[in-house]
Amino acid sequence: MIFYTAWIGITLLSAWVLTLFLRRYALQKSILDIPNERSSHTIVTPRGGGLAIVITFIINLLLLFIHNYLSMRVLSGIGGASLAIAITGFIDDRNPIHSRVRLAIHFLAAIWIAVWLGKIPPVTIFSHVIDLAWFTSVIAVIYLVWLLNLYNFMDGIDGIASIEAITVCLSGGLILYLVSPENIFWLLPVLLAAGVAGFLFWNWPPAKIFMGDVGSAFLGITIGGISLFSMDIGSQLIWSWVILLAVFIIDATVTLIRRMLRGDSFDQAHRNHAYQYASRKFGNHMKISLATGIINVVWLLPIATLVALNKLDGAIGVVIAYLPLIVTAFSLHAGARERQMDYP
């Protein structure tokens, strides 16, 4: 365990140093996020710091494979897709890519993971074992593409995407360890959390650098890939990950549905998410980002753990976890049209 602790510490420190250099590089090259009327920020801030998360994770992925802790399936599936998405995000941060091209790449990356994942085991839904055969892979692709995009949508205030990734990955790592301590797969999400923690030092409110699409999209596809490959240990674990990701999934989904119902464009910039309304209401990014982490640990982790240990049906666990958060999202006006009074 001392070896793993040192490994995690080195990852955190490496991400911290890399983010420092990336911040200096972004300032020198004027890779900046310029606030506009749809931004939740008011200060010009360098972006692209998420590359530090990408670099540390890819190196760790290779090291885990070299030490026979991960299979070629996991290395190729998660590594290939996440790297492709990171490269796309890196380019998009500098020269915006057309939304259709970007979405096509997202689907190709998701399909890549689904191919390496292979046959997905049957899932228990309300005590009934369901095997949808090939259609399960289609659902997995849609799940990955949505998770990738919603993570990008939710990266709108200081620290929230980082705190979400850290708490979700550490919680997921703990659950994996509890279910199968002999399987070192638990170390993968923990190392990802360590890389994000190193970046968070610079992204802590008020942020000195943003992660950019290179980081947010990468986190979405990577966490999604980890959640699906967790099913090799137990099919019920997919429910645990869906529960752990509830805050982001609910806010992004409710917001998107309400916006599309009134005819707003899917990729139009906006400030209609519940967390954005909340940050303006309380006038503080830190409170909302920390609240996200607290909800993940205090509310969602216990439910996800019960599901993972087969003490609670996965679908029932999702209902229990999601209902109060859905009510909260609507109470915070997720997806509602902005009024003049909503602006600071």
311 pLDDT more than 70:
yes
pLDDT category at 38 given cuts 50, 70, 90 is low
Mean pLDDT of 151-169: 94
The rounded mean pLDDT for the chain is 93
Residue 281 has a pLDDT of 86
36 pLDDT more than 80:
no
Residue 344 has a pLDDT of 43
- 253-268 pLDDT, tens digit per residue, is 999 999 999 888 777 7
Residue 343 has a pLDDT of 42
| 3-class DSSP string for the chain | CHHHHHHHHHHHHHHHHHHHHHHHHHHHCCCEECCCCCCCCCCCEEECCCHHHHHHHHHHHHHHHHCCCCCHHHHHHHHHHHHHHHHHHHHHHHCCCCHHHHHHHHHHHHHHHHHHHCCCCCEEECCEEECCCCHHHHHHHHHHHHHHHHHHHHCCCCCHHHHHHHHHHHHHHHHHHHHCCCCHHHHHHHHHHHHHHHHHHHHCCCCCCECHHHHHHHHHHHHHHHHHHHHHCCCCHHHHHHHHCHHHHHHHHHHHHHHHHCCCCCCCCCCCCHHHHHHHHHCCHHHHHHHHHHHHHHHHHHHHHHHHCCCCCHHHHHHHHHHHHHHHHHHCCCCCCCCHHHCC
204 pLDDT more than 90:
yes
Residue 37 has a pLDDT of 56
60 pLDDT more than 80:
yes
Mean pLDDT of 120-136: 86
pLDDT category at 339 given cuts 50, 70, 90 is low
